[in-house]
Amino acid sequence: MKFNIMERSKKKRFIEGVSHFGIEKIDETLVKWGSERIRAYSGDFSRDEIGKLRFLLPVEGIGLYVGKDAINKRTGVHEYRLSLDAVSVWGDKIVKNIIDIDEAQEDIWFTGADVDLTEEQVGELNGFVVVRSKKDGDFIGVGKLGLGNVLYSFMPKERRRKVNVIT
Amino acid sequence: MDMSETNRNKKSEYLKRRFPAKEGFIERMKMLLGEEDAKIFFEICYTETPDYIRCNTLKIQPDELKIRLKRYGWKIKQPFEKFPEVMIVNCNGAGALGKSKEHLLGYFYVQEISSMLPMLVLQPCDGDVLLDLCASPGSKTTQAAAMMGNGGSIVANEVSMGRLGILSSNLERCGVMNTVVTRKEGVAFCNKLLNKSQIRFDKILVDAPCSGEGTLRKSPKTFEMWNKKMIYKIAGLQRRLASSALKILKVGGEMIYSTCTLAPEEDEFIVNFLKKNFDIEILEISLPLKFREGVCEWDGEKLSDDMKKCLRLYPQDNDSDGFFVAKIKKLSDKCLLRGDA
């Protein structure tokens, strides 16, 4: 897979792209993975060492997948999206554009289905939002608000709960 | 006797009939343990292990996780004061652990205690450059990342494309950020770095592929697959993996050689081979678990007395799987081997 360690200017652009969640600084090295994905690497390997590893071995992953920097094919709009694990590890930086969902909605959310919200929950929010559990305060993913107060799920398939058993 | 115990007994009897131990295996275990202890070994092999989990301290602290899991009505024990992240969970219903929200969010990893041993012995910390040579499914890599607080550097290597997906998915779930994942056959991986780079490691884990005699409780099918030829065949690969890895360990660095088998040919014989051919020291292991020392004589062959320092974990001693761990310190780059062993 083609990847590049992002230059300072590109990293800055990504941070600006996700700043509507309150993220102002990212300490980790950001890596552009393929054409759209962004990964965050916190390890000590230098740029040269990573380059050497890549030259000698097939590198299949580096750091954590934290988001996407892509153009929405339908709307043509440039979008910056955070991943489920990014909101989990950067939770303390996220202070804006948060939707709190209740337990019943959370059960639906974890199946990967879209969630119906109340007008009160949506308020003035629009576009991408970080989803938080009202019960525990956990950040449990990222969704997109659609018409009719629907929260579209971006829960990765492998992280969805197949059957609700925990009550 | 309650219902669940009756069911467990029924299951155990069924497994004994379905997967009987082969005569050769029984004889070998008698040689290792003696008649009485071997009998206890084969009894426990047809029972299930307790559900161990490891709290992922990259995402949550053990006390908080414990409170959350107790809310489901699960009974939680932390058997080791020194390692509060290790927990035994008594939960109701098959698969409940894996379906819980805390699992989906990567707050814990379902991991048998035996599988936690290599990292508990190696003690990787922030600043270390660590190699996990046979990394999938990622239980030990994620454990290391948590111990290192996502600092230092980890290279997690795995040869199989299929298993690589499982590794990557576990690393993501656990929020691991300090790891580079590579796909290469282990010996070739080491040779590449040895011959074409200056990259060397402070700590290495070689959790080698093995015949799996220690995992019979989890996978009784191993009874069916067991044969002596496989042990000798796999020992060759283990020898090559361990000696190649040792070459890219820094002088003064530490390497863990571990397997989930109890066959001395795959365990002490490999460590003894390393001892003969490299300038290394076998280090003592201290853990708050009941374990036994390594064997120094097997099948008429005498090994170095240092093999006593290796750790043998038998299922009956801690109600766990079986496991083998050796801790090795590299003293110099001296090596008597030519080629890949």
Domains of chain A: 1-96 (3.10.450.220), 97-167 (2.30.130.10)
Q: Do B179 and A43 touch (CB under 8 A)?
A: yes
Q: What per-residue confidence (pLDDT) applies to A78?
A: 87
Q: Which of B99, B168, B173 sits opposite A60 (nearest CB)?
A: B168
Q: What is the pLDDT of residues B309-322, one digit of tens each?
A: 999 999 999 999 99
Q: Do A53 and B182 touch (CB under 8 A)?
A: yes
Q: Give buried/exposed letters for B85-116 (b at 16+ CB in 10 A, else e).
A: bbbbbebeeeebbebbbbbbbbbbbebbbbbb
- Residue B311's SS3 state is strand
Q: How far apart are CA A151 and CA A114, in angstroms?
A: 6
Q: What per-residue confidence (pLDDT) applies to B340?
A: 63
- Residue A38's SS3 state is strand
Is the pLDDT confidence value at B9 over 90? no
Q: What is the pLDDT of residues B32-69, one digit of tens each?
A: 999 999 999 999 999 999 999 999 999 999 999 999 99
Q: What is the pLDDT of residues A127-160, one digit of tens each?
A: 999 999 999 999 999 999 999 999 999 999 989 9
Helices H / strands E in chain A, number of each: 5, 11
The pLDDT-based confidence of A100 (bands split at 50, 70, 90) is very high
Measure CA of the first residue to CA of the last residue in chain A; give whole Å. Answer: 41
The pLDDT-based confidence of B3 (bands split at 50, 70, 90) is low
Query: How open is the CA angle B311-B316-B321, to the nearest 5 degrees?
Result: 65
Q: Do A49 and B155 touch (CB under 8 A)?
A: no
Is the pLDDT confidence value at A12 over 80? yes
Residues listed for chain A: 167
Residue in A closest to B193 by C-alpha: A56
**Which residues in chain A have their CB less than 8 angstroms from residue B105's CB?**
88, 138, 140
**If you average pLDDT over residues B267-282, what whole number do you get?**
98
**If you average pLDDT over residues A44-71, what whole number do you get?**
96
Structure tokens at B49: 């292990």
Q: Which of B99, B101, B153 sits opposite A44 (nearest CB)?
A: B153
Q: What is the pLDDT of residues B160-174, one digit of tens each?
A: 999 999 999 999 999
**Which residues in chain B have their CB less than 8 angstroms from residue A28's CB?**
177
Neighbours of A72 (CB within 10 A): 10
Q: What is the pLDDT of residues B193-230, one digit of tens each?
A: 999 999 999 999 999 999 999 999 999 999 999 999 99
Query: How open is the CA angle B112-B114-B117, to the nearest 5 degrees?
Result: 120
Q: What per-residue confidence (pLDDT) applies to B11?
A: 87
Is the pLDDT confidence value at B1 over 60? no
Measure CA of the first residue to CA of the last residue in chain B; give whole Å. Answer: 55
Is the pLDDT confidence value at B272 over 60? yes
Residue B288: cis peptide before it, omega within 30 degrees of 0: no
Q: Collect all residues from A whose CB is shorter than 8 A from any CB in B.
A: 28, 40-45, 49-50, 52-53, 56-65, 85, 88-89, 106, 110, 133, 136, 138, 140, 158-159, 161-163, 165-166
What mean pLDDT is reported for chain B? Answer: 95
Q: Do B182 and A58 touch (CB under 8 A)?
A: yes
Reported pTM:
0.95
Is the pLDDT confidence value at B93 over 80? no
Q: How far apart are CA B53 and CA B89, in angstroms?
A: 7
Neighbours of A139 (CB within 10 A): 23
Q: What per-residue confidence (pLDDT) applies to A75?
A: 86
Q: What is the pLDDT of residues B107-152, one digit of tens each?
A: 999 999 999 999 999 999 999 999 999 999 999 999 999 999 999 9
Q: Which of A28, A60, A159 sits opposite B181 (nearest CB)?
A: A60
**If you average pLDDT over residues A72-79, what whole number do you get?**
86
Q: What per-residue confidence (pLDDT) applies to A73?
A: 85
- Count CA atoms closer than 13 A to B88's CA, side-chain side: 13
Is the pLDDT confidence value at A164 over 70? no
Closest chain A C-alpha to B148 CA, distance in angstroms: 10
